[in-house]
C-alpha cells in the first residue's frame, strides 16, 4: 500500500469516528441528555477533531506543485466555495424555512427566526441554523491557511524540518492567544474560524511529520491510547487541553485499526459530508414531532433511534444519489448540494 493511500485510510477511520461523534452529539431529546457523560465527552473535542482532520487532508491534497503556480489561490478559493458555501446556502436555507414557517414558539430557538429577508440574512451570515456554522468557519480557515501553508512550502523555513516545526508551533500558539483576546466576530463565523485554526494547523503539522509521529505512537500505542482516552474521558481537562487529548486518542486509536480498514470504511468516509449535511433532518423529526407524539417512550430509546436514523438515512440517500448521478444529468449537476 503506497504512503498516500495508507494516510487516506487512517484519515478515513478518523473521519467516520468524528462523524459518529457528531451524530451521537445531536441525539438529545430533552436537556437531560446534555448532562450525560457521553454528551460532555463528545463536545470536549469532536469539532476540534474535524478541523484537525481537515488540516491534515488539506496538506495531503495540496502538494507544492499545486499551490505555487500563479492563480492557485483564487482557483483554490473557487473550489472551496463550491464545496462548502453552495451546500451551506442550500441546506441552511431549507432549515431556515422549516424553522421559520413551522416552529411558532421562538423561545425554543437560540436565535429566533422570522420568515423575512432580514432574518434570512442574519441566519445566513451571522447565526447559521444547527451545526451549519462549521461550513463558513472552515471556509474562512481555508482562506487564512492557504497563504500560510504556501509560505511554509516555499520559504527557507521549509528547508529544515526542525525550523518548520518550531515556526508552526509558534504560529499555533500565537493564534490561540489572539483568539482568546479577539472580540466576537459573528460574520461568516470568523471568531470560530480563528479559534479552530489552531487545530487545523496542527493537522497540517501532523501530515508533515506523520511517519515520525506514527512510529512513536506504534511503539507505545497501548500506553498512549489508554492514557489519552483516560485524560479525555475523565473530563478533568478543559479547553485546548481537553481537545488535544481527544485528538491524540482518536489518532492513536485509528492508527491501531488502520491495517484492518477496508474499502467499505473508505466508502463510508466519502459519504460523511453527506451525513453531516442531511443528518439534521431525521434527527430533528425524531426530536420534534415523534418525541412529542410518543411521550411515553423513554427518551434514550428515542436517542438511539435518532443515532441510527442520523447515520442510515443520509448514507442510503447518498448511495442512491450516486447511482442516479451516473444516469441523469440533473442528479450529476445537483450532487454538489448534498456533498457528493
* Dihedral sign, Cα of residue 235, residue 9, residue 171, residue 71: negative
Q: What pLDDT is stored for residue 327 in this prediction?
A: 84
Residue 94, judged by CB atoms within 10 A of its CB (0-12, 13-18, 19+), counts as middle
Query: Would you tell me the crossing angle of helices 86-102 and 134-154 to the nearest 10 degrees?
Result: 160
At 97 the pLDDT is: 87
Cα–Cα distance measured from residue 204 to residue 115, given in angstroms and rounded to the nearest whole number: 41
- Please give the helix or strand (H or E) that residue 24 lies within, else none: helix 3-25
Cell of 82: 463550491
3-state secondary structure at position 32? helix
Categorize the per-residue pLDDT at 157 as very low, low, confident or very high, splitting at 50, 70 and 90: low
Instruction: Give the mean model confidence (pLDDT) for residues 4-11.
Output: 69
Kindly give, in sequence order, each residue whose CB lies less than 8 Å from that of residue 150, ignoring residues fewer than 6 positions away. 67, 68, 72, 73
Q: What is the largest CA-CA distance in the chain?
A: 66
Region 177-183 average pLDDT = 72
- In tens, the pLDDT along 278-303 reads 999 999 889 888 888 888 888 889 99
User: Cell digits for 38?
Assistant: 457521553
Kindly tell me if the per-residue pLDDT of 159 is higher than 60: no
Distances (CA, A) of 115 to 93, 101, 123, 214: 11, 6, 11, 51
Q: Between residues 259 and 205, which one has the greater pLDDT?
A: 205
> What is the per-residue pLDDT for 271?
93
Span 307-331, mean pLDDT?
A: 90
| Between 150 and 86, residue with greater pLDDT | 86
pLDDT of residue 37: 93
Predicted local confidence at residue 118, as pLDDT = 85
Would you list the DSSP string of 62-128?
Answer: --HHHHSSTTHHHHHHHHHIIIIIHHHHHHHHHHHHHHHHH---GGGSSS---SSHHHHHHHHHTS-
Q: Is the pLDDT of residue 6 over 70?
A: no
Q: Percent of the chain beyond pLDDT 70? A: 91
Please give the Cα distance from 143 to 230 (Å, whole number).
36
Q: Cα–Cα distance between 217 and 19 in angstroms, integer? A: 23
Residue 1's pLDDT band, with cuts at 50, 70 and 90, is: very low
**Domain boundary assignment for the chain:** 29-265
Q: From 210, 229, 193, select the one nearest 50 (Cα to Cα).
A: 193
pLDDT at 134 over 70: yes
**For residue 110, pLDDT beyond 60:** no
Write down the pLDDT at residue 50.
95
331/220: higher pLDDT: 220
More confident residue, 148 or 153: 148
Q: Return mean pLDDT, the chain.
A: 86
Taking 70 as the threshold, does the pLDDT of residue 156 lie above it?
no
Query: Comparing 33-37, 85-89, 227-231, which segment has the lowest mean pLDDT?
Result: 33-37
Task: Give whole-number Cα distances, 158 to 150, 206, 250, in Å.
Answer: 10, 15, 28
Cβ–Cβ contacts within 10 Å for residue 147, how many?
Answer: 11
**Cβ proximity of 338 and 277 under 8 Å:** yes
> Would you say residue 3 has pLDDT above 70?
no
Say how far residue 96 (Cα) sits from the centre of its chain.
21
Residue 295, SS3 per DSSP: coil
pLDDT at 250 over 70: yes
Q: What is the pLDDT of residue 107?
A: 53
Say which residue, 44 or 31, is predicted with more confidence.
Answer: 44
Amino acid at each position: 500500500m503506497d504512503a498516500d493511500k495508507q494516510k487516506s485510510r487512517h484519515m478515513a477511520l478518523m473521519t467516520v469516528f468524528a462523524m459518529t461523534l457528531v451524530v451521537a452529539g445531536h441525539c438529545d431529546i430533552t436537556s437531560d441528555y446534555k448532562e450525560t457523560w457521553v454528551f460532555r465527552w463528545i463536545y470536549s473535542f469532536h469539532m476540534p477533531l474535524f478541523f484537525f482532520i481537515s488540516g491534515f487532508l488539506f496538506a495531503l491534497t495540496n502538494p507544492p506543485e499545486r499551490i505555487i503556480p500563479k492563480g492557485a489561490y483564487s482557483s483554490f478559493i473557487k473550489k472551496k466555495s463550491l464545496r462548502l458555501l453552495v451546500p451551506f446556502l442550500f441546506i441552511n436555507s431549507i432549515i431556515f424555512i422549516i424553522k421559520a414557517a413551522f416552529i411558532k414558539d421562538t423561545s425554543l430557538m437560540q436565535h429566533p427566526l422570522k420568515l423575512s429577508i432580514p432574518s434570512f440574512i442574519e441566519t445566513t451570515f451571522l447565526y447559521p441554523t444547527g451545526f451549519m456554522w462549521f461550513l463558513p468557519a472552515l471556509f474562512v480557515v481555508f482562506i487564512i491557511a492557504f497563504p500560510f501553508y504556501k509560505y511554509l512550502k516555499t520559504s527557507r523555513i521549509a528547508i529544515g524540518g526542525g525550523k518548520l516545526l518550531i515556526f508552526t508551533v509558534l504560529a499555533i500558539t500565537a493564534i490561540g492567544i489572539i483568539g482568546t483576546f479577539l472580540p466576537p466576530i459573528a460574520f461568516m463565523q470568523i471568531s470560530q474560524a480563528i479559534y479552530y485554526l489552531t487545530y487545523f494547523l496542527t493537522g497540517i503539522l501532523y501530515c508533515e511529520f506523520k511517519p515520525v509521529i506514527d512510529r512513536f505512537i506504534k511503539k507505545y500505542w497501548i500506553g498512549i491510547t489508554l492514557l489519552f482516552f483516560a485524560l479525555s474521558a475523565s473530563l478533568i481537562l478543559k479547553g485546548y487541553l481537553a481537545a488535544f487529548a481527544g485528538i491524540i486518542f482518536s489518532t492513536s486509536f485509528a492508527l491501531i485499526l488502520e491495517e484492518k480498514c477496508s474499502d467499505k470504511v473508505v466508502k463510508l468516509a466519502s459519504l460523511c459530508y453527506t451525513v453531516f449535511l442531511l443528518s439534521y433532518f431525521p434527527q430533528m423529526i425524531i426530536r420534534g414531532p415523534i418525541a412529542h407524539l410518543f411521550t411515553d417512550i423513554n427518551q434514550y430509546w428515542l436517542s438511539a433511534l435518532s443515532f441510527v436514523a442520523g447515520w442510515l438515512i443520509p448514507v442510503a440517500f447518498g448511495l442512491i444519489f450516486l447511482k442516479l448521478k451516473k444516469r441523469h444529468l440533473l442528479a450529476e449537476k445537483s450532487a454538489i448540494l448534498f456533498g457528493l
